[in-house]
Amino acid sequence: MRKLVVVGIVLGLLMCLTGCSNKELESKLQSYKDKLETKEVELEKEIIKTKRLEGEVNNLKNEVDKLKTQVQEFDKLKKENTESKTENDNLKRQVSQLEDDKRQLESQLQKTKPANPDEAETEIQKHHAHALELLRDAKYQEAIQEYKKILDVTPDDETALYNTACAYSLLGDKKNAVEFLIRAVKAGFTDFEHIQNDKDLDNIRDEEEYKALIRDKEKHSQAPVEGRIKKLKERLGEEYLIETMEDYKLVVVSNVSKASLESLKRSLTAFANAHWKDLFKHKPSYYITILIPKSMDDYVKKFGGQSGAAGFYNPNTRTLTVNLSTGTGTMIHEFTHALHYADMVALKQTHPQWIVEGFGSLYEQCSIKDGSGYGLLNWRLPGLQSALNTAKYIKWRDLMEKSSAMFRQNAALSYAEARYIFYYLQEKNLLRKFYQEYTQNYKDDPTGIKVIESLLGKPLEEIEKEWIPWVEKLQQGGGKPQGPVLGISTSSEESDKGVIVETVAPDSGADKAGIKKGDIITELDGKKISTFEDLRKVLSDRKAGDTIKIKILRGSEEQILDVTLGKR
């Protein structure tokens, strides 16, 4: 561009030189110079403007490229979203179908499942009872099918596994017999003395896997309980103490104080020894886990208890759970169940509910006398007496022959009647003999009716008629006294020093002696008191009208008071 301008100017100058004077030429030359400078300035401006425009164009190109990239990404996302929407619609249809299937299954299940966990437990026990009958009748294949129903619900039911092994052995199916025996041991059936002496397993004694199982019996005996303790520690953390009582096959789990735990353990061992001496000749071949949370909150949230319920024993998991806030009576009630079930397992018997609950409820309020458990009168008595007075009680034959149905229809009355039938046998010194003869004649007398008639020498209906006024008389002071009254209630709050008084009944022996709310009872008649159970044990050996010395701690001051015990 600049070259063309210069050439034009030169040509113009040559044209002027041919017909112009020097002065004119100079003037014209200057004019052309000025124009040239102006053009150069304008040209520079154009160049600058052009460069600026080129920069803007480049910027625009970059923006366009960015927009193109964004458009491509948007198109990609749009495509993916379309695919995702399609997939999401498919998933929604699948979920809807699954929900329909679930509703149908729940509807079918609702028709067959029991109404609550207790009924589910009863159903399993029914299968056990039926399977045992089949085994006794040598219907081994049918027994295996019945045990399969149990194992479909509770795959680690060691009793079902063990008895299935026995059935296969009796059929001559050694492979399945050994397999189920190994499964039973892994699940916790570790009574190797019983295994080695059970004639039902004679067909597999020469099997190498059986021999290996017996060689390693010490290791197998510990494995189930070690695994259980590990899981409990992982779930409960350091708050809970876990103690193994090897001699008693117990794993005790609790977050009460050390002193309270020791007291609870003493109660458990005392009743275990008493029951084994008098009633249940077969000790557990497996470990029983006893869960004792100190709060209702833990009982419900951590251990699956129902709010307000006192406790429960699950014979399939060998677990006893206690709601300590309702007192220690339930612990002994359920612990009696645990020992009774162990005896039934060894005997290969399933006793009716009236006998199971008769034992359990008898010992929910009791004492130890001369090394034997002794049931006391308790809170179930008034309700039973009311039913007897209005002739609305359950006939003995119905309770004994239709036990499960009666407990479902009227649990409170069934428990009370079973308890006071057992109390009646206890007071006639026949309870131990009744259970002995019942277990010996179980096959011919699964209800227990024949044994009772034999022991008392009368038909059942006549025994029942004699029992009714006897029970009614207990209300008027008949029977053994339930124990004296101190006149206080104790706090659930724990103290390392003793038992804290929560309330004092007006005009009671405690009130007259000057005991006040907040006092800590540390001794009764010179015996150290750490827990309510310690207090109860001392009072169980006293009678109304006795005067006892109570050492209390009030603030930092110790006092010894004389308290006269009252009647209930």
Q: Which domain holds residue 52?
A: 2-108
> In this predicted structure, what is the pLDDT of residue 362?
96
Q: Are residues 36 and 69 in the same domain?
A: yes
Same domain for 186 and 98, yes or no, is no
Domain boundary among 459, 482, 505: 482
Q: Which amino acid is at 412?
A: A
Q: Within 10 Å of residue 425's Cβ, how many Cβ atoms?
A: 20
CA distances from residue 195 to 132, 209, 285, 343 in whole angstroms, order as listed: 17, 14, 10, 15
Residue 500 DSSP label: E
Total of domains in the chain: 4
Grade residue 132 by pLDDT with cuts at 50, 70 and 90: confident
Q: What is the CATH number of the domain that holds 191?
A: 1.25.40.10
pLDDT for residue 515: 94
Instruction: Tell which of 215, 246, 267 closes a domain.
Output: 215
**Which residue type occupies 219?**
K
**pLDDT of the residue at 44:** 67
Residue 259 lies inside a defined structural domain of this protein: no
- Is residue 149 situated within a structural domain? yes
Range name among 13-27, 81-95, 336-350 with the lowest pLDDT average: 13-27
Whether 424 is covered by a domain: the verdict is: yes
Model confidence at 478, pLDDT cuts 50, 70, 90, reads very low
What tens digit of pLDDT does each residue of 90-112 get?
665 665 555 555 555 544 444 34
Looking at the structure, tell me whether residues 363 and 455 fall in a common domain: yes
Beta bridge partners of 250: 245, 288
**Tens of pLDDT, residues 257-269:** 888 889 889 999 9
Specify whether 548 is located in the same domain as 476: no
What is the average pLDDT score of the chain? Answer: 82
* Rounded distance between C-alpha atoms, residue 520 and residue 510, angstroms: 13
386 lies in the same domain as 428: yes
Same domain, 469 and 403: yes
User: In terms of pTM, does the model score above 0.75?
Assistant: no
pLDDT the model gives residue 504: 82
Rounded average pLDDT over 329-348: 92
Express each pLDDT in 485-541 by its tens digit: 788 877 655 577 888 887 787 788 999 999 998 899 999 999 998 877 778 778 877
The predicted model gives 286-306 an average pLDDT of 86
For residues 478 and 357, membership in a common domain is answered with: yes
How do residues 443-456 score in pLDDT, each as one tens digit? 999 999 999 999 99
For residues 185 and 179, what is the distance between their CA atoms, to the nearest angstrom? Answer: 10
* Local structure of 491: helix, strand or coil: coil
* Domain shared by 379 and 502, yes or no: no
Q: What is the CATH number of the domain that holds 560?
A: 2.30.42.10
Inside any domain, residue 78: yes
* Distances, alpha carbon 103 to alpha carbons 100, 108, 110, 365, in Å: 5, 9, 10, 46
What span, in angstroms and rounded, lies between the C-alpha atoms of 493 and 314? 29
Residue 218: phi, psi to the nearest 5? -65, -45
Residue 324: inside a domain, yes or no?
A: no
Question: In this structure, is residue 273 part of a structural domain?
Answer: no
Asked if the structure places residue 493 within a domain, the reply is yes
* Residue 445: strand, helix, or coil: coil
**Whether residues 475 and 535 fall in one domain:** no
Q: Are residues 414 and 528 in the same domain?
A: no
Q: 73 falls in which pLDDT band (50, 70, 90)? A: confident
Range with the largest mean pLDDT of 165-179, 187-201, 310-324, 502-516: 165-179
Residue 288 confidence class, pLDDT cut points 50, 70, 90: very high
* Claim to verify: residue 370 and residue 478 sit in the same structural domain: yes
User: Do 50 and 22 fall within a single domain?
Assistant: yes
Q: Which of 453, 482, 511 is the last residue of a domain?
A: 482
The model's confidence at residue 367, banded by pLDDT at 50, 70 and 90, is confident
Q: Is residue 278 part of a domain?
A: no
